[in-house]
Amino acid sequence: MDRPNFLYFITDQHRADWLGCYGHPMVRTPNIDSIAGAGTRFEQFFVASPVCMPNRASLMTGRYPGTHGLRYNGCILPTSANTFVDVLRSGGYNTASIGKSHLQPMTDRAPIGRDPFDSGPIPEAWKADPESYDHEQPCRYESNSQYRIPLPYYGFDHIDMVTGHGDKAGGHYQQWFRERHENWQELTSNESQLPHNYTCPQAFRTPIPEDSYPTAFVRDRAMDYLRTTGTSEQPFFAFVSFPDPHHPFNPPGKYWDMYNPDDFDLRIRYPDHKNPPPTLLDAKLAFDAGKLPGSPQAVFMAKDQHVREAMALTAGMISMVDDAIGEVIDVLKETGQYDNTVIIFNSDHGDYLGDFNLLLKGPWPRDGITRVPMIWSDPATRKEQVSPSLASTIDIAPTILERAGIRPYFGMQGHSFVESINGGEGARKSVMVEHNDGGRRMGFASPARVRVLINDDWHLCVYKDETWGELYDRVADPDHLNNLWESDSHVEIRAGLTAELLNQVIGQMDESPRSELLA
């Protein structure tokens, strides 16, 4: 028990309140609920950044995006960066990443939204890194032979890579899929979708069988890995990363119509906000004009029916992941490893998923995209409890290392929440969320730079170069419907929270590597 295994399940774009154990009235997640039934479920767990790549890099390093360097989607986590997985590996752990990694760009497209700059003979502030950063790009997986990623990869000695989302996911999954299906091109063609009556943007009824969908690939590779570790005395850390329920909305087989759109409720509507901020106003103007964003990744406002359809299909994807997790845990038990394995469930960020009729994510950091599930089931206790402690993605690395009995490296900015797992108080009085957008959207003249401070009572949001901001009372106004930024009676509260946010921003300075003290 001194050196437990770690089985870390993570989903993509999955808000906290879309699980049965977090109180969702419709989504059925009995297997994830069972993890919570034998573990600690965190009610106030927030991302370091509400975007895939920067938050995943924060998870791996225990550092904020402005420090580790992967600031927004399309950047890379430098291979010179240490991760907590490197530490586990050095401490004797067998390490595996199965599924989505997304620490390097998954496409070969050029970045969007970059401000024009007429550079001189040296174009960038940093010299080009000689390391290769294209291990997750499509070009590496075009051949039929499995692409071998140079190892260790950010600390992982075993890699089963999935890139992208939905039925057109790439990486090792795509190579496996092509081997299974001679008609793979037909199965992934936009013209081959099965008949349906959904009209929601990005709703696509894939003909791909359930057992050939990315979720099944991740499930099967995870089960294979656990069977290989079952006879080993070496502890393992397995990062099992599902690309769903990220859009497009295309659960396969029975999961497509497992839920009825009419059963879902649009709880928070546009008229509910008493003083809509410019971000929401911009989304409403685009909706009224009938405009959809040019990128399928960008937030948009949708019709009621479209939102309900997106909800039903998202629920189907979540239930498929839940079924897969149940099968993986069954193998963990069959191989005799359950009693010495910490099981973790988490997500990299959320989705507006109907808040004010918005879908996807954007530079408006509401709880829907910043608050994520965190469930920790520890073999030392295996008892159900709910923690009210504030915690952040950057806290995961030091927590796992403390539980493994291994010292972290200098420069981690997170705080272990082991005490909270054991029923004690957390180390935080507040959390900060950092969002750096890669493009211009939601009415911003330039890519948004946003910082958020959250404590038990308040939610403060500050936008670079903007004269407006947001302040919400989390107790009296949990849905954030009344912005108190301009309230005369809240001037002192706003000032105090702003000072605390500034203090945290100043504290982001990278303290590593530290210089030797002079004699």
104: its two tokens: 């390097």
Please give the pLDDT value at position 178. 96
Segment 439-460, tens digit of pLDDT? 899 999 999 999 999 999 999 9
- Please report, for residues 276, 463, 484, the alpha-carbon distance to residue 468 in angstroms, rounded to integers and kept in the order given: 11, 8, 11
Count CB neighbours of 22 within 10 A: 20
Residues 193-216: what's their mean pLDDT?
Answer: 97
On the question of a cis peptide bond just before residue 245, with omega within 30 degrees of 0, the verdict is yes
Residue type for position 276: P
Please give the pLDDT value at position 517. 60
Where are the chain's structural domains? 5-112+131-428
Residues 188-211: what's their mean pLDDT?
Answer: 95
402/396 Cα distance (integer angstroms): 10
- pLDDT band of residue 63 (cuts 50, 70, 90) is very high
83/69 Cα distance (integer angstroms): 13
What is residue 291's DSSP assignment? -
Please give the pLDDT value at position 115. 58
175/143 Cα distance (integer angstroms): 8
- Cβ contact 397:59 at 8 Å: yes
Please give the pLDDT value at position 74. 83
321: its two tokens: 């992941």
Q: Please state the φ and ψ torsions of residue 303, each to the nearest 5 degrees.
A: -65, 160
Please give the pLDDT value at position 111. 55
Judge whether residue 394 has pLDDT over 70.
Answer: yes
Segment 298-345, tens digit of pLDDT? 999 999 999 999 999 999 999 999 999 999 999 999 999 999 999 999
Segment 141-197, tens digit of pLDDT? 999 899 999 999 999 999 999 999 999 999 999 999 999 999 999 999 989 999 999
Residues 237-241: what's their mean pLDDT?
Answer: 98
**Proportion of the chain above pLDDT 90, given as a percent:** 87
**Proportion of the chain above pLDDT 70, given as a percent:** 97
234: its two tokens: 């070496």
Please give the pLDDT value at position 295. 86
242/249 Cα distance (integer angstroms): 14
Which residues make beta-bridge pairs with 432?
453
Please give the pLDDT value at position 230. 86
Q: Please state the φ and ψ torsions of residue 324, each to the nearest 5 degrees.
A: -65, -45
Return all residues near 432 (Cβ < 8 A) that are at least 6 apart: 64, 392, 451, 452, 453, 454, 501, 504, 505
Judge whether residue 386 has pLDDT over 60.
Answer: yes
Judge whether residue 246 has pLDDT over 50.
Answer: yes
Judge whether residue 108 has pLDDT over 90.
Answer: no
Judge whether residue 13 has pLDDT over 70.
Answer: yes
Classify residue 485 as exposed, middle or buried by CB count within 10 Å of its CB (0-12, 13-18, 19+): middle
Return all residues near 74 (Cβ < 8 A) that are at least 6 apart: 53, 105, 111, 112, 438
* Strands 40-46 and 385-392, bridge-based pairing: parallel
Please give the pLDDT value at position 519. 46
- pLDDT band of residue 110 (cuts 50, 70, 90) is low
What is residue 249's DSSP assignment? B
Segment 473-518, tens digit of pLDDT? 999 999 999 999 999 999 999 999 999 999 999 999 898 888 766 5
Segment 346-383, tens digit of pLDDT? 999 999 999 999 999 999 999 999 999 999 999 999 99
- Please report, for residues 24, 446, 447, the alpha-carbon distance to residue 113 in angstroms, rounded to integers and kept in the order given: 36, 8, 7
Could you confirm whether domain 5-112+131-428 is CATH 3.40.190.10?
A: no
Length of the chain: 519
Residues 235-262: what's their mean pLDDT?
Answer: 98
Segment 407-442, tens digit of pLDDT? 999 999 999 999 999 999 999 999 999 999 988 999
* Closest by Cα among 341, 383, 397 to 57: 397
Residues 194-218: what's their mean pLDDT?
Answer: 97
Q: What is the pTM of this model?
A: 0.96
Residues 220-249: what's their mean pLDDT?
Answer: 96
